[in-house]
Structures are given as structure tokens and as C-alpha cells.
Structure 1
Amino acid sequence: MKVGITGGIGSGKSTVCRLFAQRGAAVYDSDAAAKRLMSQDAPLRKAIVARFGAAAYRHGELDRAFLAGAVFADPQALADLEALVHPAVKSDFVAWAAAQQGDYVVLESAILFESGFDRLVDRTVAVLAPVGLRIGRTCRRDGSDPEAVRRRIAAQSDDDALSAWADFAIVNILEEELEPAVAELDRRFRLESKTLQHAD
């Protein structure tokens, strides 16, 4: 069984994924996978160079600053990049998931629904938190400017939308409440996985 976990910046999505990992679930970080594939996957590299030019790679390495600058203020360029990267990540995740053991695996993605990655999974979980708390967490973690974080949050799907789209929601305000919430979902997913296996 495949479980997609999403949440905006500072929501605690990665913390929740780490708690699932501690319970034995294999976790696929789609953001890390995208960076790895953009660096290592030959067909994807070739497609990125064809669209953005040879400057996308410097000394054989992906030039993240160049690419970020190319897509930052150009929605079409960003859409073009996503159209190249998302299919590569999806294929990589499917192959990875097929090789895993255990009752279920986790797909971590900040853009689970926006990218269509939700169609690859059986259940979805949104990690939610108040905006003020998310800004504080992100500033402490990254040393970011609060206003810059606020702009990033404004550019993402809000918690109301994520809550409406997802099968389950975890509200991450108090850290001590996270563990029981994850434990309950872990129990539920293991039961559902067994039910799905018997149905097959």
C-alpha cells in the first residue's frame, strides 16, 4: 500500500514522515529524488539542457541557482521544468515502491495534489499547522526572513484545501500529540494493507 504525505512549509511534514519511518515504513522523499534525478538521470538532463540551455549544468553538475532564476518569475518556464521532472520522479517512485518490503510505503511531497502524485497512492495525509507557527518554525530552521516565508506560504495550497483533498489530516501544534496521531494512522494503514492483500 502507498501513502502520500503532504503539507506546506513549516507544517512538520518531514517530522511526521520521520515518525512513520521509525515505525518501519520506508519513506520516499520526492524533493530529494527530483534533485538526484536532475543530476544523474541522463534522459532528464538532456531534456533540461534542450529546454534551458547548457548553462543549466556547470562542470557536469546541476546549476540550481541558474535554474531557480530561470523559473522564478516565469510561470511557463516553471511549468516546462515540472513537465520534465515530475514524470521522471513518478517512474522512479513506482520502481522504488515495488522493491520495498513491509505493509506500506510513504511518498513525501510538498506538491502531492498539485503534481498529480496523489494518483500514485492509495491514501493521503495532510500535515497542517497555523500560519504563525509555520513562519516561526521555518525562520528558526532556515534563518529565513518572516516576510519571505509568508510569501512562500501564500504561494502554496492553504490548509483548508489540503484538508479537503486529503483522506486524513494531522494537526501539528504540540509535538507530544504527533506521536499518538502517527501511531493511530500507522495501525490503520497496516490493517488496510492486509485487507488489500487479501482482496488481491
Structure 2
Amino acid sequence: MTIVGLTGGIGSGKTTVAKEFKKIGVPVYIADEEAKRLMNRSKVIKRKLIDLFGENAYIDDKLNRPFIADIIFNDTMYLQKMNAIVHPKVARHFEKWTLKQNAPYVIKEVAILFENGGHTQCDYIITVIAPIEVRIQRLLKRDDTTKDKIKAIMKNQWSDKEKVKLSDFVIENIELQNTIIQVNEVHDKILQNIA
């Protein structure tokens, strides 16, 4: 099975691009969604996160996301420790999911694909880019957040320039119709490459 990594900085529009690939029949695995599910379902992960962050890590048996976000974006050591707990479980889940897919290739959408070394397990990499100001405006509209919080998250992610250097394909996601055209072009190129 050919594995295509899909990544991009926060607010670049990875989810939009992933949806367009889904529409043309490509199986898409959203690693962040699975990580959220596992953090709420897995007893082992829960226990380890409570050990790491304390009893406030969960409220009513649900992950206390704002509490954890405040900690991890102010101290990268906590972010790395949390990733070391969650990412191996997500990787195993992805492997099982891949075996059930019947398609020429699958997409694994991961926000921090390069930062966590996941790009080394991909046959191709697509990076979604957009100007920083556009990304900030999208996030301010979408999330209950501030510019400072967004910039703190961006600081923990590689720059577009670094990601693009290691990518096979780049999709500039500013205007939807143009993004859809680029998705179809990339899809055709991947199919040609794996034929």
C-alpha cells in the first residue's frame, strides 16, 4: 500500500485538502482525530497523561484540552512527553486501518508529520501552504483563540519553507476552486507514479 503523508502548518487548510481527496475516493486517515479518540478511550494513555499532567488532565472522564494546551504550548518538554505517549498508539492504529483499505494509495493527515519523524514512513508527502496572515485569520474565525496562542503553536511547528524542501507535492490553499484543481493534479501524478 502506498502511503501519502499530508501535512501543513496550523490553519493552512489540511482538513479542506483531506476532504477533497476523500471526495475523489482516496481513503484518508486523520491522525489528530484518532489521537483525540485514543486519549479519551485508552485506559493506558489516560493513566500516563494523568501521571504526566496531574489529576486536572481529565474532567468527567474527558481530556481537559484547554488545561493541557496551556501547558504544552508553554513547555515543549511536556509536548514531547505527551507525543511519546500518544503517537506510538496512533501509529499502530494507522497500520491496522491501512490493512482494511482497498485503494491504490491512502492519505495520512498529520499536523506534525515532519516534527515527529512520521515523514520517514511515507512514500510521498504533500504539504499544504497558505500565507501566515491568512492562516491566523482562519484560526481566529474557527477557534476560540488569540493571535498569541496561534503564534505559540506555529513556533512549535516547522516553517513552510522547511516542509516544502522535503515534500513531493505542495498545494497552496488560498482559494477553494484552485485548491480542488491542485488536489486533482496531485492525485493524477500519484496514480501515474505508482502505476
TM over 0.5: yes
Deviation at 1:110, TM superposition (A): 0.9
1:22-76 CA deviation, whole Å, 9 max, x = no partner? 0001111111111101111222223223333343233322222333344342222
Deviation at 1:116, TM superposition (A): 1.6
2:80 aligned partner, one-letter code: A
Q: Aligned residue pairs: how many? A: 194
Equivalences for 1:106-125 in 2 at 5 Å?
Answer: 106-125=107-126
1:19 aligned partner, one-letter code: E
Question: Match of 1:133, SS?
Answer: helix
**Alpha-carbon distance between aligned partners in 2 of 1:178 and 1:72, rounded to the nearest angstrom:** 30
1:52 aligned partner, one-letter code: F
Instruction: After the TM superposition, list the runs of 4 or more consecutive aligned residues in structure 1 that deviate by more than 4 angstroms.
Output: none
Equivalences for 1:33-112 in 2 at 5 Å?
Answer: 33-112=34-113
1:119-156 CA deviation, whole Å, 9 max, x = no partner? 22211000111112222222233364445434433442
Runs of 5+ consecutive residues of structure 1 not aligned to the other structure: 196-200
Contact 2:129 2:173 in 1 (8 A): yes
Of all paired residues, the percent bearing the same amino acid is 35
- Shift in alpha-carbon separation, 1:51–1:97, aligned structure 2, 3 A: same
Question: Match of 2:28, SS?
Answer: strand
Q: CA RMSD in A?
A: 1.9
Question: Match of 1:136, SS?
Answer: helix
1:60-119 CA deviation, whole Å, 9 max, x = no partner? 222223333443422222211111111111111111111111111111111011112212
Moved more, 151-160 or 115-124: 151-160
Tell me whether 1:2 sits opposite 2:12 in the alignment. no
Q: Which has the larger radius of gyration?
A: 1
Match of 2:186 in 1: 185
**Alpha-carbon distance between aligned partners in 1 of 2:31 and 2:44, rounded to the nearest angstrom:** 18
- Shift in alpha-carbon separation, 1:67–1:150, aligned structure 2, 3 A: closer
**Alpha-carbon distance between aligned partners in 2 of 1:119 and 1:103, rounded to the nearest angstrom:** 20
Taking structure 2 as the reference length, what is the TM-score of the superposition?
0.89
Runs of 5+ consecutive residues of structure 2 not aligned to the other structure: none
**Alpha-carbon distance between aligned partners in 2 of 1:8 and 1:40, rounded to the nearest angstrom:** 27
Deviation at 1:158, TM superposition (A): 1.2
Taking structure 1 as the reference length, what is the TM-score of the superposition?
0.87
- Shift in alpha-carbon separation, 1:128–1:42, aligned structure 2, 3 A: same
